[in-house]
Every structure is written in C-alpha cells, then in structure tokens.
C-alpha cells in the first residue's frame, strides 16, 4: 500500500493518525471461534477508558468501521480464501494475498472502493 506522498492517491489524513494509532494499540480485530471478528463498541470503550485514550465520537466510529472492513477483507480477497493473519508461517503467495486484503480494507476505510 502506498502512503500519501504527493501522488494524490490517498487524501492527507492528519486526523486519521488517531484512528490508526488506536487500531495498532487495540488490535484490528478480535478472535472469534471461526476466525477474526470486528471489534465491539464495548471492547473499544473498555480500552479507551483503561488507557485514557482521547477518542472522540468520530474516531470511535472510524475504529469500528475500519475493524469491520478489515475483517471483511481478511478471510476473502477477490473470491479466494486466505489463511488467518495469526498463522505461524505464510508462504510468499499467502503473504501477498494477506497484504492485498489489508490494502483493500484501508481503501474501503478511505472510501476509495
């Protein structure tokens, strides 16, 4: 995934760093019985309260939306099933598919797809 380097592909998201920082610290998803599941509002609230993170309502909703988009992109990318991201070893082909799924999730978050 290419970041914003003046090529115009992604908008300049100064406020987006709060959301990305929260997702890096909190995790992009939870573990469910059948694989990853999106973060819940309760989980985000508990994390924000426990860490005293300053998540406003818009950032809170963005974290929920990104987690949902991420989970929707992890299990299937272009109709092809991929291993979960916590697999111990990914082949180069599997890693490429997982990377593409993450890029797809970020594009969905930014409204590019």
pLDDT digits 0-9 by tens, 26-72: 988 998 887 788 999 999 999 999 999 888 888 888 899 888 888 87
Residue 82: name the closest of 96, 68, 69 by CA: 96
Q: What is the pTM of this model?
A: 0.56
pLDDT (mean) for 6-28: 71
């Amino acid at each position: 995934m290419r970041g914003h380097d003046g090529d115009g592909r992604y908008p300049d998201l100064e406020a987006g760093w709060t959301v990305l920082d929260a997702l890096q610290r909190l995790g992009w998803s939870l573990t469910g019985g059948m694989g990853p599941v999106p973060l819940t509002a309760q989980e985000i609230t508990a994390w924000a309260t426990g860490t005293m993170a300053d998540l406003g309502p818009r950032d809170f909703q963005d974290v929920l939306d990104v987690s949902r988009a991420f989970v929707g992109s992890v299990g299937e990318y272009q109709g092809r099933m991929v291993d979960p991201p916590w697999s111990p070893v990914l082949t180069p082909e599997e890693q490429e598919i997982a990377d593409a799924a993450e890029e797809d999730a970020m594009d969905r978050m930014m409204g590019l797809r």
